[in-house]
Amino acid sequence: MFLFLFIGAFIGSDLRYLESLIFKTNNGFPLGTLIANLSGALILPFLIHYLQDRYNLSSRVVLTLSTGVLGSYTTFSTFTADTYHLYLTGQWWFLFVYLTITIVGGFGLAILGNYWAATRAFNDYARRRRGRRL
């Protein structure tokens, strides 16, 4: 099991590093971390509530994708380090924006991910029901 987590964490951390290179800013705003954490907040509930049920994923696959890939792709430690850096450098506006978007936006995207999963599951169910009536 640890080997699968290791492989997932390797993939997630590489994706996270690539994203930090793509979304590097000159003004000190941690855009790469913000995008990683928000996209993870959207994808994790969808993974758990739709993909796991729809494709009968094993607990090993779900753990590898959620804890391994998404756990290393999203990063609370970098979020706190970035927040502290904005605080130390007196970038109060960036600090406020970063905290607000990360916390409120992450929560909102998690709700959206759950809604997305429920909508997809309902649509799949409705398609299967229509197919049986024909």
Distance CA 52, CA 97 (A): 34
Q: Mean pLDDT per segment of 10 residues, for the chain of length 134 residues?
A: 92 94 93 96 94 88 94 93 97 98 98 96 90 68
Annotated binding site: 71, 74
Annotated binding site for Na(+): 71, 74
Q: With beta carbons less than 8 A apart as the criterion, state whether 51 and 113 touch.
A: no
Give strand ranges (E) for the chain.
none
Predicted TM-score (pTM) of the model is 0.89
Q: Total domain count for the chain?
A: 1
Q: What is the pLDDT of residue 131?
A: 81
